[in-house]
């Protein structure tokens, strides 16, 4: 069973079906792929255009179109005479949930129990279309959420340890369809570690010897790099990064054709060495 919840700023999850007669017309409004920003280059005196790779995605729009009716939270029809009162209660409740906070979180739980969510803001007017009388009163809403961060994400993060040596498939990140740039990388003892995704040429490297019992953490979300007790300063100066398609210190992308990301950790010595990669899978559609 698919469920759609709205999470307000206080962390409370509200099941939209409690106020809706016929759900929200499925998840069609949540399947719009964000558009890409930027254009290809027009070459004078040449046919077509020159393709420029690595375009970024714009903000996305999620549109819900629920039918609202005077039903109780358990789906039963109120006694005669109460239907219109319950309808107005449900309509007010829905509009309050969507507009009480600056932004709201929309969470979709799929049939297999996995959930993903996106944060958005209602910026367009909501004008209910109401028809019928008494207990037969019904209303149609169209609620558009503008999502500054365009991708759906897992509710909970996943982690995987990558040992130095041969390329490793990040099985914990399987199924992702969008770039993942909000990552936490924890490097264990080793010399001058370099983590890369060969297919994208994105890499991050620490020009530092990490001794036994120490770790160095690279936080691509907060743009921070810090060490455990005993690690000397100057870590930002010892950090190198690069690759196409991201401005972050490191990022993961699905492999060509949608495959699971493959990464490789190398170093110049130390006791084997490893890095723990933590992040949330991201998706272009719900």
Q: What angle do CA 264, 265, 266 make, to 5 degrees?
A: 120
The pTM (predicted TM-score) of the whole model is 0.88
Residue 123 is encoded by which pair of tokens?
């910026």
Q: Give mean pLDDT, residues 74-95.
A: 76
**10/130 same-domain check:** yes
What span, in angstroms and rounded, lies between the C-alpha atoms of 249 and 265?
Answer: 15
Considering the chain, what percentage of its residues have pLDDT values greater than 70? 93
End residue of a domain, out of 112, 128, 150? 150
Question: CA torsion sign, 101 to 23 to 106 to 31?
Answer: negative
What pLDDT digit, counting tens, does each position of 117-145 carry?
999 999 888 888 888 776 677 788 888 89
- Domain stop point among 101, 118, 150: 150
pLDDT at position 130 is: 83
Residues of the chain with pLDDT > 90, as a percent, come to 64
Domain containing 235: what range?
A: 156-283
pLDDT for residue 21 is more than 70: no
- Let me know whether 127 and 199 are in one domain: no
Picking from 87, 84, 91, 89, the residue whose alpha carbon sits closest to that of residue 126 is: 91
Q: Are residues 145 and 174 in the same domain?
A: no
Evaluate whether 252 touches 183 at the Cβ level (below 8 Å): yes
């Amino acid at each position: 069973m698919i469920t759609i919840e709205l999470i307000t700023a206080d962390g409370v999850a509200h099941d939209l079906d409690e106020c809706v007669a016929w759900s929200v017309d499925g998840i069609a409004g949540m399947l719009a792929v964000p558009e890409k920003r930027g254009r290809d280059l027009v070459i004078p005196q040449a046919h077509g255009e020159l393709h420029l790779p690595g375009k970024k995605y714009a903000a996305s729009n999620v549109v819900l179109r629920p039918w609202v009716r005077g039903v109780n939270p358990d789906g039963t029809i109120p006694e005669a005479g109460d239907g219109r009162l319950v309808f107005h209660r449900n309509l007010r409740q829905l509009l309050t949930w969507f507009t009480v906070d600056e932004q709201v979180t929309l969470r979709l739980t799929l049939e297999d129990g996995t959930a993903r969510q996106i944060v958005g803001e209602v910026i367009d007017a909501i004008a209910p279309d109401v028809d019928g009388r008494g207990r037969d009163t019904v209303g149609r809403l169209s609620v558009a959420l503008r999502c500054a961060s365009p991708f759906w994400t897992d509710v909970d993060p996943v982690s995987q340890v990558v040992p130095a040596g041969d390329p490793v498939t990040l099985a914990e990140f399987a199924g992702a369809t969008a770039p993942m740039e909000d990552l936490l990388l924890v490097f264990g003892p080793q010399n001058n570690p370099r983590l890369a995704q060969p297919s994208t040429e994105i890499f991050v490297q620490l020009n530092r010897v990490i001794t036994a019992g120490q770790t160095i953490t690279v936080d691509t979300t907060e743009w921070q790099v810090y060490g455990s007790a005993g690690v000397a300063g100057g870590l930002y100066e010892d950090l190198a990064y690069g690759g196409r398609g991201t401005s972050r210190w490191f990022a993961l992308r699905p492999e060509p054709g949608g495959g699971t990301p493959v990464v490789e950790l190398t170093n110049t010595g130390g006791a084997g060495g490893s890095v723990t990669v933590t992040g949330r899978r991201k998706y272009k559609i719900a």
